[in-house]
Amino acid sequence: MRAAPTILHLDMDAFYASVEQASKPSLRGKAVIVGGLGPRGVVATASYEARRFGVHSAMPMGQARRLCPNGAYLFPRFSLYREVSDQVMALLRQLSPLVEPLSLDEAFVDLEAGGVAFDSASALTTGERLRADIRAVTGLSGSVGLAGSKMLAKVASEEAKPNGLLLIEPGTERELLAPMSVRTLPGVGPATGEHLRRAGITTVGELAEAGEDELVRMVGRAHGVALYRMALGLDDRPVVAERDAKSVSVEDTFDVDLHDRVRIRGEVQRLADRCVRRLRESGHSGRTIVLKVRRYDFSTLTRSETLRGPTDDPGVVREAAGRLLEGVDTTGGVRLLGVGVTGLADYTQEDLFAQASASALAAEEDGAEVGGAGPEEGAEASEARPAEPVMDPWSQAPGAEPEPAEERRWMAGGDVLHSVYGPGWVQGSGVGRVTVRFEQPGSPPGRVRTFRVDDPELEPSDPLPLVGYPGVDADG
């Protein structure tokens, strides 16, 4: 614990949904829900307008549609979210060399290490300036917590939402925490919360009064000691500078189980290409190729093949993933597929096609089953956090035959460009038609037009950057 509130926690407000509102003027102030749009989709983020209807992240999309039937339901655009996240993280690194990102929209910052804050007054000034800078650069809002520890800074930012700032003065931690729910503390999920409730403990104050010995008896030594320290507001964890990535992976959950072996192989090839694109974007190569298959009964198989050296060649990764697939029984159907690369390095190995073939004999040994017998614990929960487990609607494997125009997937929220009307985004599609609203960041709300799905003048495009947009208030 520090004597001054010089640890900052930033949490962008309804990040994915706010980016969509900023880039689509007609959605300003409207209920926006981002996530998987199929029958098995889940909500990744809901705008504050949608939350008023009870919609929240990790909720099945079908339930969200029942609660908020008039909301705008959009497919995620992770390339744009990463671009905006990079802008926000760059602002944080101007404050300190010690920035610890937790996700695209959340990070800790050690202000003292950056020499920008040493007491409450300077920390408060820095926090307010950061919020203003984020608004000026991205047009978005973020909530800031300031405290003497990481745990309390995160609690503060949550209390400050949306679009606010809260500073917890050292020495006031226990008083502030006492009336809060035990679920406020990190690591206290539904199961632990219910276990404590049955013991008559519902607030952090009651947790502290229970004492360390009682908590150890209830939940075990490691968890009990940690809970007691958190209830007292004690947390000595340092802010750790951005860690090197250990793996890169992509996966896709399908609306309907796949049974066609040719289709399954095609999806694996496509995922391999997406994985390599992310690998190259991160400036890495990798040595171990991993295939993940979740079957119709939720049993999950993981196979891996280790090459002689690191690669970022899509052909090598496709070949390896294809070989791994040959050893997997997909009878009964496949619900999810994923391809990943681990053993990352900053260089590539020459002649990897040769080494990939040579390593094929070792694939069966390296590809031992990790999951398998029964449903994977937390399977649904993992799908509820699409950090990027969704398919890019515009992806096309290099060298593959182009899809027939009538089969092109015009995903709601996807970016398009018309040769006459210019840039726009897909509002919806079906029955051979696609509806597009033509507008862009900073423009007035645009007009809606409908085209045939195979209209040669309409093409998918990359997202337009959020430049010079005045922003939307997080609280609507």
Q: How many CB atoms lie within 10 A of CB 402?
A: 8
Whether pLDDT at 116 is above 70? yes
**Residues 105 and 214 reside in one and the same domain:** no
Q: Terminus-to-terminus CA distance in the chain, angstroms?
A: 36
User: What pLDDT, on the 0 to 100 scale, is given for residue 370?
Assistant: 31
Residue 114 CB-half CA count within 13 A: 23
User: What pLDDT, on the 0 to 100 scale, is given for residue 112?
Assistant: 95
Report which of residues 398 and 188 the model is more confident about: 188
Show the tokens assigned to 359: 């390593």
Instruction: Tell me the percentage of the chain whose pLDDT exceeds 90.
Output: 63
Whether pLDDT at 380 is above 70? no
Note down the domain range covering 452. Answer: 405-460
Q: Is residue 281 within 8 Å of 354, Cβ to Cβ? A: no
Residue 435 three-state SS? strand
Q: How many domains does the chain have?
A: 4
User: What pLDDT, on the 0 to 100 scale, is given for residue 397?
Assistant: 34
Q: How many CB atoms lie within 10 A of CB 84?
A: 26
Confidence tier at 108 by pLDDT (50, 70, 90) = very high
Of 450, 427, 423, the closest CA to residue 26 belongs to: 427
Of 133, 167, 131, the closest CA to residue 12 belongs to: 131
**Residues 88 and 154 reside in one and the same domain:** yes
Structural domain contains residue 390: no
**Residues 451 and 367 reside in one and the same domain:** no
Confidence tier at 467 by pLDDT (50, 70, 90) = low
- Over range 361-371, report the average pLDDT: 35
Please count the residues of the chain.
476
Name the DSSP class of 271.
H
Structural domain contains residue 242: no
DSSP alpha helix (H) spans, 60-119: 61-67, 78-95
Segment among 57-61, 122-126, 172-176, 184-188 with least mean pLDDT: 184-188
pLDDT tens column, 427-451: 999 899 999 999 999 899 999 999 9
Q: Give the integer Cα–Cα distance in Å for 4 and 148.
A: 6
Of 407, 405, 406, 425, the closest CA to residue 415 belongs to: 425
**Residues 178 and 114 reside in one and the same domain:** no
User: What pLDDT, on the 0 to 100 scale, is given for residue 466?
Assistant: 83
pLDDT tens column, 396-414: 333 333 333 334 679 999 9
**Residues 193 and 288 reside in one and the same domain:** no
Name the DSSP class of 35.
E
- Over range 45-67, report the average pLDDT: 95
Q: Give the integer Cα–Cα distance in Å for 180 and 205.
A: 8
Show the tokens assigned to 379: 């399977």
User: What pLDDT, on the 0 to 100 scale, is given for residue 347?
Assistant: 65
Whether pLDDT at 384 is above 50? no
Mean pLDDT, the chain, whole residue set: 84
Of 101-110, 381-390, 407-416, give the range with the top mean pLDDT. 101-110
User: What pLDDT, on the 0 to 100 scale, is given for residue 15?
Assistant: 96
Whether pLDDT at 141 is above 70? yes
Structural domain contains residue 296: yes
Q: Give the integer Cα–Cα distance in Å for 354 and 363.
A: 15
Residue 279 three-state SS? helix
What does each C-alpha distance from 269 to 319, 343, 395 come to in angstroms?
8, 20, 11
**Residues 32 and 98 reside in one and the same domain:** yes
Whether pLDDT at 364 is above 90? no
Whether pLDDT at 472 is above 70? no
Whether pLDDT at 155 is above 90? yes
User: What pLDDT, on the 0 to 100 scale, is given for residue 242?
Assistant: 65
Confidence tier at 36 by pLDDT (50, 70, 90) = confident
- Over range 120-149, report the average pLDDT: 96
Report which of residues 181 and 343 the model is more confident about: 181
Which residue numbers are catalytic?
106
Q: Is residue 113 within 8 Å of 255, Cβ to Cβ? A: no
Whether pLDDT at 378 is above 60? no
User: Identity (one letter) of the amino acid at 305?
Assistant: E
**Residues 303 and 327 reside in one and the same domain:** yes
User: What pLDDT, on the 0 to 100 scale, is given for residue 244?
Assistant: 64
Structural domain contains residue 350: yes
* 408 contacts: CB under 8 Å, gap ≥ 6: 453, 454
**Residues 206 and 281 reside in one and the same domain:** no
**Residues 62 and 155 reside in one and the same domain:** yes
- Over range 460-467, report the average pLDDT: 87
Q: Is residue 319 within 8 Å of 276, Cβ to Cβ? A: no
pLDDT tens column, 225-259: 989 999 999 999 999 986 666 788 999 888 889 99
Look up the CATH number of the domain holding residue 365. 3.30.1490.100
Look up the CATH number of the domain holding residue 444. 2.30.30
**Residues 281 and 299 reside in one and the same domain:** yes
User: What pLDDT, on the 0 to 100 scale, is given for residue 148?
Assistant: 95
Whether pLDDT at 219 is above 90? no
Structural domain contains residue 302: yes
Structural domain contains residue 150: yes
| 286 CB burial (10 A radius; 0-12, 13-18, 19+) | buried
Look up the CATH number of the domain holding residue 206. 1.10.150.20
**Residues 59 and 189 reside in one and the same domain:** no
Look up the CATH number of the domain holding residue 136. 3.30.70.270
Segment among 5-9, 178-182, 408-412 with least mean pLDDT: 408-412
Query: Secondary structure of 134-187 in the HEC alphabet?
Result: HHHHHCCCEEEEEECCHHHHHHHHHHHCCCCEEECCCCCHHHHHCCCEHHHCCC
Model's pTM, two decimal places?
A: 0.72
User: What pLDDT, on the 0 to 100 scale, is given for residue 100?
Assistant: 93
Structural domain contains residue 240: no
- Over range 391-397, report the average pLDDT: 33
Q: Give the integer Cα–Cα distance in Å for 283 and 278.
A: 9
Structural domain contains residue 237: no
Whether pLDDT at 390 is above 70? no
Whether pLDDT at 356 is above 60? no
